[in-house]
Amino acid sequence: MKTLARATQAIHIGVGKDSATGAISYPIYPSATYRHPGVGQSTGFDYSRSGNPTRQTLEEGLAVLEGGVRGLAFSSGMAALTTLFLHFRTGDHIIASEDIYGGTYRLLTLVLGNLGLHISYVPTSDVAAVQAAMQPNTRALLVETPGNPLMGISDLAALGTLCRKHELMFIVDNTFMTPMLQRPFEFGADVVVHSATKYLGGHNDVCAGVLVARTAELGERLYFLQNSIGAVLSPQDCWLLLRSLKTLSLRMERHNQNAMQIAQWLEKHPAVKAVHYPGLPSHPQHALAQSQASGFGGMLSFRVRSAQMARKVLERLTLISFAESLGGVETLMTLPDIQTHGDIPREQKDRLGIDESLLRLSVGIEDVADIIADLEQAFAAAERDA
């Protein structure tokens, strides 16, 4: 039988796996512990922190979708990252994208930095800059591509080659693109990370994180850390993710279509100074994005004329919600400077261009005409209030 398409794989995670009932929707197993058949015998499940049937089904499906060997589900994206970075030791050096989620910066610098990890933030869209940042104690490279919130694109193939040459763990945060649009393991990634709260969940109703390992050995090491730390995803939330993955392919198609139309509309609007979206030919890494992904995703950011105007736009939105997070079916807008990236130092944000005139838009799957109409009226109201 030929290999199934990813959309089909996502729909059929867990289907027919419950042999006791033949349930199409895999059941929720809320049990905290499991009865042993006898002394020295196990059903394969002992204690729910160590393993749960619903979580195992989800984790196996996530590994298949990403093309990895071992998937692990956590209570949040930050729990997944924390567990991953506890693989490293005091004195180790990590290189990370400078265009990165503010919560990741907070974890690496303000938490793990206190435990002796050394972090350097570089423009990972510049392979030479990554190489120049390497030190004798460098152990890993963490890349978000597209970046957050400026949507910079990093060359996964070139960075994968660089990591193999220098024996670094290559970690790719694939939250914005999902395995439906981008496959980091094909470019040499060792670990793929997701805030599954976002597109994998897709409905703004579950908080979750995912790690997928390329090899069984690394997967077993990460499982040891997951079991030791215990920040696992609950059976109910695992089931919600299983449900959501069934429509991931369709949702990503619509996110992608809507975002492209909105980016093109914004680029022509007189109130907008710049639009950051890899799908636009004006994006500096447009060709690279095309070469390593099958779409451009549903995330974009744009700059208006002033901080005052940005605030007025946010106040005037009606359909679009002024809210943090991203990747849900509903369109959300946020002000990264004071919200998602609030913990990044002012000097670094100024250098990157993250200020109060920059707005980030998570484009939902509503009718695109309704989203554009809301943006239009919010811009018009902001102009009147100026």
Q: Which of 17, 18, 34, 49 is catalytic?
A: 49
For residue 173, indicate whether it is catalytic: yes
Instruction: Single out the catalytic residue among 55, 139, 198, 316.
Output: 198
Is-catalytic flag, 199?
no
Residue 198 annotated as catalytic? yes
Active-site annotation holder among 99, 173, 237, 337:
173
Compute CA distances 313 → 309, 336, 376, whole Å: 6, 14, 10
User: Annotated catalytic residue: which of 26, 55, 99, 101?
Assistant: 101
Euclidean distance between CA atoms 219 and 68, whole angstroms: 9
Contact partners, residue 95, CB within 8 Å, separation at least 6: 119, 120, 121, 122, 124, 130, 133, 134, 138, 140, 141, 142, 168
Catalytic residues: 49, 101, 173, 198
